[in-house]
Amino acid sequence: MSEFRIHHDVNELLSLLRVHGGDGAEVYIDLLQKNRTPYVTTTVSAHSAKVKIAEFSRTPEDFLKKYDELKSKNTRNLDPLVYLLSKLTEDKETLQYLQQNAKERAELAATAAASSAPSFSAPAAASKISMQELEELRKQLGSVATGPTVQQSLELTRKMLRDKQNKKSSGQCLPVFPAWVYERPTLVGDFLTGSGLSTDTGVPIGSLPLAAQESAIVEDLLYVLVGVDGRYVTAQPLAGRQSRTFLVDPSLDLSVRELVNRILPVAASYSTVTRFIEEKSSFEYGQVNHALAAAMRTLVKEHLVLVTQLEQLQRQGLLSLQKLWFYIQPATRTVDILASLATSVDKGECVGGSTLSLLHDRSVNYTGDSQAQELCLYLTKAASVPYFEILEKWIYRGIINDPYSEFMVEEHELRKEKIQEDYNDKYWDQRYTVVQRHIPSFLQKMAGKVLSTGKYLNVVRECGHDVTCPVAKEVIYTLKERAYVEQIEKAFNYASKVLLNFLMEGQELLAHLRSIKRYFLMDQGDFFVHLMDLTEEELRKPVDDIAPPRLEALLELALRMSTANTDPFKDDLKIELMPHDLITQLLRVLAIETKQEKALVHADPSELALSGLEAFSFDYVVKWPLSLIISRKALTRYQMLFRHLFYCKHVERRLCGVWLSNKAAKQHSLHSAQGFAGAFTLRQRMLNFVQNIQCYMMFEVLEPTWHVLEKNLKSASNIDDVLGHHTSFLDSCLKDCMLTSPELLRVFSKLMSVCVMFTNCMQRFTQSMKLDGELGRPPLEHGTMLGPPTEAERAEERARKERARKHLAEHVDTPQLASSFEATISKFDKNFSAHLLDLLARLSIYSTSDCEHGMASVISRLDFNGFYTERLERLSAERSQKAAPVPAPRAPPAPAPRVAVAAQ
C-alpha cells in the first residue's frame, strides 16, 4: 500500500469517527509506516477469531449468520477483517472509546433526523373513508406487499448489468436476447406453476391398492425429475430464490411417502440448476457464466438420459420405487453439487474472476471426495476457457478484449498526451488497473505481474510496433499453481526485456536523462555563466514586463555559445515563467492535507509581484513513450531543484558583485575605516555560507545520487524498476537539498533574503560613496596636462554632478532609516547569525533524531572551525532550561551538535 493510500484511509477513518483536532493524521501515518511489515500477513486463522467475536458479541447467532452469508458470497478480505475485529475485542481502551464514539454519533444522527423529519397530519378520529378510497388503499397496500416478481427482479438485474457494460464499452451496445425468450416459460424446462393447467387426479391415490399407488407415484416421480408436474406430486410456486418445494397427495401411504420425500430433493436441485442455466445464459452475465452454464447443461443432459432409461424400465414394468431410489443414487450427489454451486454463484452475484474463485475454492475443499472434486474441476476448466483466452491476449500481445468486464485488468479512457501537460495525470498507474473482485483466487499472487506484463507490451504497441510473445502457450486450469507461475513469469520477462530495450536503446532514455541533468541540475557550468550574463538585465524586470520570445532567443544564444552546443537534445529545452515563486510552489506541495492548504491553493498569483528571476524556470519537451518516465510530475521536481540551485547561484553572483564594488570603494575616503571592516566580514560569511551550501548540494547530494541512479538503471530488469529508481533519485535529491521540510525551507529562505537585502544595501552605500566622490572632485576650470578643458568635457562634468545631486536627493532618507552605516551592518549581522544558528540547530536535530546523516555534512561545512559551536551550546542550554519544569543545580554544558559531526 502506497503512502498516499495510507494517508487517504487514515483521513477517511478519522472522518467516519468524527475525530477533529488532536495530532492530526500525520502522527498515525508515521506510526503505520514504521510498523508495516514487508511480507504479507493477511493469511490468518479465522476460526478462532470468529469464535472469540461470537463469545464477545451480545447476539452471537446474528454474527455467525452474517459471517456465513458473506462467506457464501465469496467476499474478499473477510478473514483478515474478522481477525482485526477479534484483536479489537482484546483492547479495552479502544473498545471503550469506540462505544463512546458510537453513542455520540447515534445522538447526533437522532438529533439531525428529528430536526429534518417532516410533520404528518393524521386524519381526525371521527372522519370516515369512502368505499372508493378504501378500495384504492387496498390496491396500493396489495401492490406494496406483493412486491416485484422473480421475473421482474431478474429483468432489473439484467438491465443494470447491461447499462454498466455499455457504459464501459464506449457506447457500443452489447447483444441481447429478444423479449420472447423471457416471455415463453415453456422454453425454460422448469415447472410451470400458476399456469392454470388442470391436473385432474381423478380418485385420491390413497383409495388405490398399495401396488397401484407405487406404480402411479413412480410415474409421477419420473415426470417431476425432468421438471414437469405429476398428478399426485406437484411443485409449489417460488418466492424469491429459495429452493423448490413440492406438495404430495396427503392420502399416500406413509411408507411410500417416506421414500418419495427422499427422492424429491433431487427434483428440487434439478429445478435450481435448470433455472440457473437459463438465467446465466443471458449475454449480460458474461462469458465465464456462459461457459459454466454450458458445462452444467451437458451434465443435465446426462441426467435426462438417465431418466429416459428409467422411463423405459417403467414401461416394461421393471421399475419399482426401491429400484428408482437405487438407480438415481449416483446422480443425486452430482445434482446436489451443481445446485449448491448455482446457489452460491447467485448469492455472491459472481461474474468473471469471482465465479472462477468460487469454483476453485470448492475444488480445493472437495480434496477428500474424489468424485465431487473431479466434477468441480470439470466445471472450473470449462468456465475458465474464455477467461484464459482474455488472459493470453493480454500477457502475450498486450490487448484487452473484455466486452463483459470480467477480466482482472480494467482499461480506462486516458490520453497519453496528457502526461506532458497535467501534473496530476496518472496514465501509467490508472490507464490499466486491477479489479480485485475479478481476480481468481488461484491468480491472486500473480495479479501484479499480469498487470505489468500487458502494460509493457501495450506501451510498445502504442508506439506502432506489433509484438507477440515467442514463448506463448495455452493456459489451462489446474490445481497446480506452479503451471500458471511459470507461464506468466516467462511472458513477464519477455515483455520487460522488450520495453526496456525499446526505451533504453530505441528512445535513448539515459541520454535524455543526462541532458535534463545538464540543464536542470546545473551540470553545464559555462552555459549558465553565459545565460546569467545574457539574461541578467531582462530577469530584473517584473514578470509581466518580460517578453518570453526575447528570453527564448537569449537561451538559444547561450546554448550555441557554450559546450552545450554538442548536446543532441538541446532543442527540447524551453523557458517557462512560473506563476508562483519557489517557496510558494513547494509549500503548496508540502501543505497537502494541512491547515495551510486552502490558503495556499486559493491564493491569487497576481497578489505576488514576482520578478523575472523569481519566476524563471526551465521546461523540457518529452514525447511518448519517454513521458512515462519523465512525466510532468518528474519535471516539476526537476524544476524545483533547478529553481533552488539557480537562486543560490544568483545570490552568490550578487555577493561577488558586492566584493567587486568593495574593491572599488577602497579608493574613496571613508568617514570610518572600521565601518567597512564589519561589512567585509559579514559579506565573506554570507559568501562562505552560500558557496558551501551549493558545494554540498552539487557534490554531496546530486552527483553521488546521480551515479547511483545510472548504476541502477543499467541493472534494471523492467520499466517499473526504472520508474522506482528515477522517483527515488528525485525524492532523495529534494529531501537532502532541504526542499521537503517546511521548517528548514523557511529558515533557508530567510537566510537568502537577508543576503539579498544586504547586497542591495551595500550597493546603495557604495553608490552613495561614488556620488560623494563625484561631488567632491575639483572642477575642470584649470584644465589638465593636456590643456584647458573643452566645452564637451565641461558639459559632461556638469551632467555627472547633476545626476549625483539628484540621486542623493532621492535617497536622502536612506541614512535616517538606520542611525548609521555601522548600525545597519550590525543589524544585518545579528539577523544573519540568528537565522544561521537556527538552521544549524535544526540540521543537528534532523541529523540525529531523524537519522538524516547527510545533513551532518552541512554542519561540518558551515561550522568547519567551530565558530558557531559555542553559540549553539549556549542556545541548547537555554532551551533545556526553558523545558525543565523544576530548577535543577547547574550542570556542565551539554555537548554541542558539532561533536556529533566530528565523530562521523
Phi, psi of 410 (to 5 degrees): -115, 140
**Range with lowest mean pLDDT among 489-493, 746-750, 773-777, 786-790:** 773-777
Q: Which of 390-394, 419-423, 544-548, 772-776 has the highest mean pLDDT?
A: 390-394
Q: What is the per-residue pLDDT across 418-452, written as a single tens digit (0 to 9) for each?
A: 544 444 446 667 788 888 888 898 888 888 889 88
Q: What is the pTM of this model?
A: 0.66
183-190 long-range Cβ contacts below 8 angstroms, 24+ apart: 188/274, 188/275, 188/278, 189/226, 189/227, 189/274, 189/278, 190/227, 190/271, 190/274, 190/275, 190/278
State the Cα–Cα distance between residues 870 and 892, nearest whole angstrom.
13
Can you tell me the mean pLDDT for 447-465? 86
623: left (phi > 0), else alpha (psi -120 to 50), else beta? beta
Q: What is the per-residue pLDDT across 84-117, written as a single tens digit (0 to 9) for each?
A: 788 777 777 777 777 777 777 777 777 766 665 4
Can you tell me the mean pLDDT for 385-406? 89
User: How confident is residue 124, by pLDDT bands cut at 50, 70 and 90?
Assistant: very low
Q: What's the pLDDT at 483?
A: 81
Going by C-alpha positions, the residue among 571, 577, 578 that lies closest to residue 623 is 571
Residue with cell 465465479: 355
**Range with lowest mean pLDDT among 203-207, 351-355, 437-441, 600-604:** 600-604
CA 621 to centroid of chain Cα atoms: 26
User: How confident is residue 811, by pLDDT bands cut at 50, 70 and 90?
Assistant: very low
Going from the C-alpha of 558 to that of each of 71, 561, 577, 647, 675, the distances in angstroms are 69, 5, 18, 19, 40
Going from the C-alpha of 48 to that of each of 44, 68, 74, 84, 518, the distances in angstroms are 10, 15, 19, 12, 61
Number of other residues whose CB lies within 10 A of the CB of residue 194: 9
Q: Is a pLDDT exceeding 70 seen at residue 833? A: yes
- % pLDDT > 70, the chain: 68
Q: What is the per-residue pLDDT across 657-692, written as a single tens digit (0 to 9) for each?
A: 777 776 665 655 455 455 567 777 888 888 888 888
Q: What's the pLDDT at 892?
A: 43
Higher pLDDT, 486 or 821: 486
Residue with cell 524544476: 639
Cell numbers at residue 890, please?
547547574
State the Cα–Cα distance between residues 222 and 303, nearest whole angstrom.
12
Q: List CB contacts of 408: < 8 A, sequence separation 6 or more.
A: 353, 434, 435, 438, 439, 440, 443, 447, 450, 451
Please report how the helices 210-224 and 254-280 are oriented relative to each other, as an axis angle in degrees rounded to 10: 10
Q: Is a pLDDT exceeding 50 seen at residue 817? A: no
Asked if 409 and 400 count as a contact pair (C-beta separation under 8 A), the reply is: yes
Q: List CB contacts of 613: < 8 A, sequence separation 6 or more.
A: 539, 540, 647, 650
Q: Is a pLDDT exceeding 80 seen at residue 898? A: no
Instruction: Outline where 413-520 has alpha helix (H).
Output: 427-430, 447-462, 481-501, 509-520
Q: Is a pLDDT exceeding 50 seen at residue 650? A: yes
Q: What's the pLDDT at 634?
A: 87
State the Cα–Cα distance between residues 95 and 135, nearest whole angstrom.
54
Residue type, 504: M
Can you tell me the mean pLDDT for 504-513? 88
Q: What's the pLDDT at 771?
A: 55
Phi, psi of 451 (to 5 degrees): -60, -45
